[in-house]
Amino acid sequence: MTKHQSVSHDSRLHVLALAAFFLLMPGVTLALEIGDKAPPFRLPGSDGATHQLSDYLGEKPVVLAFFPKAFTGG
């Protein structure tokens, strides 16, 4: 398998894993309307720590940027 095929395969696996995660989460809607509040969530950061929305609400602006591996090794 070439490096390009490996990256493509890894990307497909991540997309499938994310799709399964969101489809199997009970009680969570997949779409929000403009003006809706964001649901609580907890995610691993690139710094290795786990961050949750409630830690930042009211203190700082919150921007969620999602770059699936961004074609890097990490």
- Which pLDDT value is given to residue 28? 57
Which DSSP letter does residue 60 get? S
The better pLDDT of the pair 64, 26 is held by 64
With a cut of 60, say whether residue 60 has pLDDT above it: yes
**Tokens in use for 38?**
């964001």
- What is the enclosing helix (H) or strand (E) of 8? helix 3-24
Give residue 45's pLDDT band: very low, low, confident or very high (50, 70, 90).
confident
Name the residue ranges covered by the structural domains of the chain.
Answer: 3-67
Per-residue pLDDT tens over the stretch 10-24: 778 888 887 777 667
Sequence-distant (≥ 6) Cβ neighbours of residue 4 within 8 angstroms:
none
